[in-house]
Amino acid sequence: MSAVTGTISEDAPTLEDDGKTVQARPAPRDEAARLGFRLTLPAQVLVLFISAFPLLMQLYISVTDLSPLSGLGWWNAWSLWNSFANYTDLAADARFWSALKRTAIVMIVCVPAEFLLGLALATLFADDFPGKRIFYSILLMPMMVVPAVAGYMFFMLFQSGGPVNDILSSLTGSPVTIAWLSDPTLALIAVMVADIWQWTPLMFLILLAGLVGVPEDQIKAATLLGANPWQRFVTIVLPKMKTIIIIALAIRVIENFKIFDTLYIMTGGGPGVATETISVYIYKLTTQDLIWGYVAAIALAILIVLSIVAVFAMKRMARARQVPA
Amino acid sequence: MADIVFRNVTKRYGGTLAVDDASFTVNDNEFFCFFGPPLSGKSTILRLVLGLETPDSGDILIGGKLVNTLSPAGRNVAMVFQNLALFPHMSALDNVRFPLVERGVAEAEIGTRVADVAAKLHIGHILHKPPAQLSGGERQRVAIARALVRDPNAYLMDDPISALDARLREETRVELKRIQRELGKTLIYVTHDQEEAMSVADRIAILEHGRIRQIGAPAEIYDRPASTYVARLLGSPMMNILKSARGEGGVEAAEGTIRIADKTAPADAVEIGLRPEDIKVRPWVDGGRADGASSRPARVFEVEPLGGYTVVTLEAGQARLKALLRGQPDIRPDAMVAISCEPARVHYFGQSGGALAR
Amino acid sequence: MSAIHLQNLVKKFGDFTALKTMDLAIADGEFMALLGPSGCGKSTTMNMIAGMEEPTGGRILFGERDMAGVPMGRRGVGFVFQNYAIFTHMTVRQNLAYGPRMRGAAKAEIDRRVGAIAEMLQLTPLLDRKADRLSVNILQRVAIGRSAIMEPAIFLLDEPLSNVDAAFRAVMRTELKQLQRQFRQTMVYVTHDQLEAMTMADRIAVMDHGVLQQVGTPLEVYNDPANVFVARFIGAPGMNLLKGRPAESDRGLIVDLGPLGITPLLPGELAAALRGARGDVLYGFRPEQALLVPDGQGLAMRVSFVERIGARTIVHLGQGEAAVKTVFDNDVGLAIGDVAVVAPAASSVRIFDAATGLAMKAG
């Protein structure tokens, strides 16, 4: 082994080894970058304005008692300034907190369920089997369904005289008449079932893309080294999919937090407030209670929470990207 | 006239010098090759000639005309890319026609020029095929035809045959040389394969860190490398470079294992270079005296038969050196042999690695 | 135990036959190169030995043991992939430890074995480096170490040098060969580069179009190619082959090459082999074994191209349709346009049947 001394760095010198640096004039690349910045400045200002304006408007409204009943335009809302009463009210609003808790429960159940189901399906579809293409198309269909239509579908399915109870009846042999959507607990379960049904395909799709991107040679190498399928999955496949898993989870956490349309059509947030999530609560405050200042405060609070989630996810992604597969 | 002249050209990217004070002249109709390790500045020089980059300082002249700020289109220099960049959805013919159609050349003229270039490159019979149906060598020729059809002043090739397998490369390089001869056009060629560079080039420029280290005909550079860096770059197996010292009656290297009876050796030599083919290997008989005093013993470490040649790795003192022998000599590992080298074949290098005149 | 026997091995992919009845015996501790152009069946053969693909017919024996149905994880073969297939999300240490860890070896045991193999491969200082930014020769060592730690009796290498820069290949070749000496395993090495096969292998199995063409030591396949394919594929440049017809001259048997004239007298045993032959033959000789001879004693051809490549000069000769390459020392003194008269050294002439492509030999 004594001949194994030449390393590639000796044989392939790089420019970085050169040690020569420039002092006098800036490199043309920097000039080009500066010109580029100047040229795109108007567009950047416009984008900034478009995204920042609604935010600033919300912030402004959230410290007022603005309501359609006040008869004032939003720009005049300063006369309705209520210091930070909306925020202190929010802190004490039990209905808000229980809606938040309910939203969190839905997320904690749905996202992991969608993830595990999606991963299982993706693993299945990474190999070939007869009829794969047809199953694939069928599997993706729920994602294409308009959420309102999905809500209607599940509304019908979970009627006390609906197909779900029919199936349960024929399974148990005695007539089942569960009032799914009228029972507080069962209604929440029904809503979650609908969400899982609709969004598992998306999870499946993203994870499948990640799964086929895992280098086949590395899986073969692991097999040759004696790893069983489960060991290969845990030591090679999952680590290689880390980035895509984080992306998939982040997308679904953020989307699931905003759960509204399917749910509203199925239960309207009821019975009572049993399935009232943050979005449903905001909807009711805006259209029924008409307290816009308060809604703005809630909207901002939620935005902050979601931003924290997004920033965390992006940081993880950036770190994961430093290690290319 | 399409000679290409660089005068003190420097090009930086951020803090790194990609081309460092390069001066050279590529003569009209010359096959000129740039050779060096990755990132030594080969590709940047091509980009400067093409006009894809402008020099930070220095002048570039094509055909006697200063082109520093001239756009690529104004230089009439054609490029054949490493991946050939043929349009896969077009037939070979449409690929070759493309540069002329693009420039709005009259249909009749396109016809004659394509026919002309197709005849020169022997591709008339494959022009109807799409690139996917062509062999590697054929695709190569189509790409060259596309570069030549607009009658450029000079053309550039960036490692154009590196994707072919070894046998095809051997044949294609000869073909390239023939084409260049027949076309009589200036060709600047970049390769990372030293055999290819020596085979095709009229002259080679050796690059290191963006600096030109030596320019000359292949044989000239091979026979008289200007430094240990250049010496190591050309030749396979590479030149043996050994620490040396003055000893009784000449120069000694490898702890006295090799003795060069050269009274005229430069006094400031610290290393000697021996081409593998210049090392004489004989059986070690009775202390080697029969072969004269300059032969010293070495142990055979490894024997690699190439068929027509044999590479023998020898252990001499603490050093390992390779000898290239003709034919299939009966030499086995662990045998003791006598090695020697004619003084006239020895290269001497000084403290900084530069070659020393005798 | 670690000898490999391929018996009537066949592999078909649908209608396409990738490998046609291959028989090959690889001895214990032997370095065997499977050499051929892409699509010749060499990788398919290797994959079947590794258990990545099922043979369509025939048997693979390791020692006495039939490997049919033995999954790839249980065959005890080390496999080095073309791109090395290093686990880039792990450190060098984790890569080396992977096999023992998957088999549930104890922590102390794993540490000991990783330490030993790292020491042997000079990887110790790199153990805690992430494996995604290592130079290619380090990657090769990690790939070999990762397999070697399992102490496989058989090592399979799939074109490990094909992604390596030409300049660096020589270093890697030496390194690989030394590793094989250290481990003394049976090695099967797949390559399309005849130089790699010649310089590293104990024996070479030359393959083309799914058919094993010849098995022999590097010098056997170089000196006595079994057929035209091997003659052309081995050597750089490959063997010169000129079409002609055997004919009697007043002094003995020669080959009449038509417009090129006649060859020098064929040596005795070749002449004997050719006596009964009818039809065209190919007159073959190695470019390195051509000599410049006086006018009238060889083939007179015009120099069409001269390549001086380092220590040797390749002179391309042509006359009409016929083309010959010769390799000389640099002092040959031939230039384009000169007429050279060349003849092969008598002992180096090989004759092939033009119809079958097979070498014609005495007896």
pLDDT-based confidence at residue A86 (cuts at 50, 70, 90):
confident
The contact set of B with A (CB < 8 A) is 12-18, 20, 37-40, 54, 56, 208-210, 320
Does C165 score more than 80 pLDDT? Answer: no
Given B225, B256, B279, the domain boundary residue is B225
Tokens representing A24 are 């006098």
Please report which helix (H) or strand (E) contains residue C328, including its range: strand C322-329
List the single residue in C with minimal CA-CA distance to B231. Answer: C310
Could you tell me the maximum CA-CA distance found in chain A, to the nearest angstrom? 90
Is C319 a member of any domain?
yes
Taking the C-alpha atoms of C73, C78, C84 and C86 in order, what is their torsion angle to the nearest 10 degrees? 60
Q: What is the pLDDT of residues C118-128, one digit of tens each?
A: 988 888 999 99
In this complex, the residue of B15, B18, B56 whose CB is nearest that of residue A21 is B15
SS (H, E, C) B47-92: HHHHCCCCCCEEEEEECCEECCCCCHHHHCEEEECCCCCCCCCCCH
pLDDT confidence of residue B289:
53
**Chain C residues near residue B218 by CB distance under 8 angstroms:** 308
DSSP state of C359: B
Does C34 score more than 90 pLDDT? Answer: yes
Nearest CA distance, B352 vs chain C (angstrom): 23
Is B354 a member of any domain?
no
Contact A293, A143 (CB under 8 A): no
Q: Which one of B12, B57, B238 makes the best mutation probe of the A interface by having the most chain A beta carbons within 10 Å?
A: B12
Domains identified in chain B, total number:
2
In a shared domain, residues B265 and B201: no
Does B304 score more than 60 pLDDT? Answer: yes
In a shared domain, residues B176 and B252: no
How far apart CA B270 and CA B245 sit, in angstroms, is 6
pLDDT confidence of residue B286:
61
Global pTM reads: 0.80
pLDDT confidence of residue C167:
66
Given C188, C210, C233, the domain boundary residue is C233
Mean pLDDT of A117-139: 89
pLDDT confidence of residue C157:
92
pLDDT confidence of residue A320:
61
What value does the mean pLDDT of chain C take?
Answer: 90
Domain housing C348: 240-353
- Residue for token digits 């190999």? A127
**DSSP β-ladder status, B4-13 and B57-62:** antiparallel
User: Which of these, C264, C220, C224, C258, lies nearest to C242 by C-alpha position?
Assistant: C258
Contact B83, B163 (CB under 8 A): yes
**Chain B residues near residue A21 by CB distance under 8 angstroms:** 15
**DSSP β-ladder status, B186-191 and C203-208:** unpaired
How far apart CA C133 and CA C125 sit, in angstroms, is 15
In a shared domain, residues B215 and B266: no
Does C173 score more than 90 pLDDT? Answer: no
In a shared domain, residues B181 and B36: yes
**Range of weakest confidence among A80-94, B174-188, C65-79, C213-227:** A80-94
Distances from the Cα of A320 to the Cαs of A166, B96, C130, in angstroms? 49, 45, 13
C329: domain CATH number is 2.40.50.140
Residue ranges of alpha helices (H) inside A62-183 are 85-92, 94-126, 132-144, 147-157, 163-172
In this prediction the ipTM stands at 0.87
Is B232 a member of any domain?
no
In a shared domain, residues C79 and C162: yes
Mean pLDDT of B48-60: 92
Of residues A51 and A18, the one with the higher pLDDT is: A51
Distances from the Cα of A235 to the Cαs of A165, A214, A225, A230, C9, in angstroms? 43, 12, 12, 9, 35
In a shared domain, residues C11 and C141: yes
pLDDT above 90 covers a percentage of chain A that reads 18
pLDDT-based confidence at residue A222 (cuts at 50, 70, 90):
very high
Does C225 score more than 80 pLDDT? Answer: yes
List phi, psi (to 5°) of C79.
-130, 125
Nearest CA distance, B16 vs chain A (angstrom): 6
Does C321 score more than 70 pLDDT? Answer: yes
Please report which helix (H) or strand (E) contains residue B147, including its range: helix B136-148
In a shared domain, residues C270 and C222: no
Q: Please give the single-letter amino acid code of residue C316.
A: H
In a shared domain, residues C253 and C294: yes
Does A25 score more than 70 pLDDT? Answer: no
pLDDT confidence of residue A27:
44
Mean pLDDT of B42-60: 91
pLDDT-based confidence at residue C166 (cuts at 50, 70, 90):
low
C40: domain CATH number is 3.40.50.300
- Residue for token digits 């040098």? C161
Is A163 a member of any domain?
yes
In a shared domain, residues C178 and C287: no
Does A4 score more than 70 pLDDT? Answer: no
Nearest CA distance, C166 vs chain B (angstrom): 6
List the single residue in C with minimal CA-CA distance to B170. Answer: C237
In a shared domain, residues B214 and B262: no
Of residues B136 and A212, the one with the higher pLDDT is: A212
Is B355 a member of any domain?
no
Given C179, C209, C233, the domain boundary residue is C233
Given C197, C216, C233, the domain boundary residue is C233
pLDDT confidence of residue A17:
29
How far apart CA C198 and CA C113 sit, in angstroms, is 33
List the single residue in B with minimal CA-CA distance to C223. Answer: B307
In this complex, the residue of C166, C194, C198 whose CB is nearest that of residue B193 is C166
Domain housing A221: 94-290
Is B59 a member of any domain?
yes
How far apart CA A73 and CA C111 sit, in angstroms, is 74
Contacts of B112 (CB under 8 A, 6+ apart): none
Q: A16, B208: Cβ pair inside 8 Å?
A: no
In a shared domain, residues C226 and C245: no
In a shared domain, residues C205 and C161: yes
Tokens representing A45 are 């200002």
Contacts of C290 (CB under 8 A, 6+ apart): C240, C324, C326, C327, C328, C342, C343, C344
Is C97 a member of any domain?
no
pLDDT above 90 covers a percentage of chain B that reads 39
**Chain A residues near residue C80 by CB distance under 8 angstroms:** none
N-to-C CA span, chain B: 39
Does C338 score more than 90 pLDDT? Answer: yes
DSSP state of C162: T
Q: Please give the single-letter amino acid code of residue B68.
A: N
Does C283 score more than 90 pLDDT? Answer: yes
In a shared domain, residues C209 and C157: yes
Q: C178, A3: Cβ pair inside 8 Å?
A: yes
How far apart CA A218 and CA A229 sit, in angstroms, is 13
A220: domain CATH number is 1.10.3720.10
In a shared domain, residues B245 and B176: no
In a shared domain, residues B272 and B219: no
Please report which helix (H) or strand (E) contains residue A305, including its range: helix A292-321
Does A30 score more than 70 pLDDT? Answer: no
In a shared domain, residues B22 and B156: yes
Does C314 score more than 60 pLDDT? Answer: yes
Residue ranges of alpha helices (H) inside chain C are 42-50, 92-102, 107-120, 136-148, 166-183, 194-200, 218-223, 228-233, 268-274
Does A281 score more than 50 pLDDT? Answer: yes
How far apart CA A162 and CA A170 sit, in angstroms, is 13
Domains identified in chain C, total number:
2
Domains identified in chain A, total number:
1
Is B233 a member of any domain?
no
Q: What is the pLDDT of residues A156-198, one digit of tens each?
A: 888 888 888 888 888 888 877 788 888 888 889 989 999 999 9
**DSSP β-ladder status, B154-158 and B77-80:** parallel
pLDDT-based confidence at residue A32 (cuts at 50, 70, 90):
low
Q: A226, C174: Cβ pair inside 8 Å?
A: no
Domain housing B262: 240-349
pLDDT confidence of residue A8:
31
Tokens representing C237 are 């440049």
**Range of weakest confidence among A72-86, A231-245, A278-292, C213-227:** A72-86
Is C21 a member of any domain?
yes
Is A73 a member of any domain?
no
pLDDT confidence of residue C277:
74
In a shared domain, residues C222 and C266: no
Mean pLDDT of A216-226: 91
Mean pLDDT of C213-238: 95
List the single residue in B with minimal CA-CA distance to C225. Answer: B307
In a shared domain, residues B265 and B338: yes
Of residues A72 and C49, the one with the higher pLDDT is: C49
Does B82 score more than 80 pLDDT? Answer: no
User: Which of these, B255, B253, B283, lies nearest to B343 by C-alpha position?
Assistant: B253
Is A55 a member of any domain?
no
Number of H helices, E strands in chain C: 9, 19
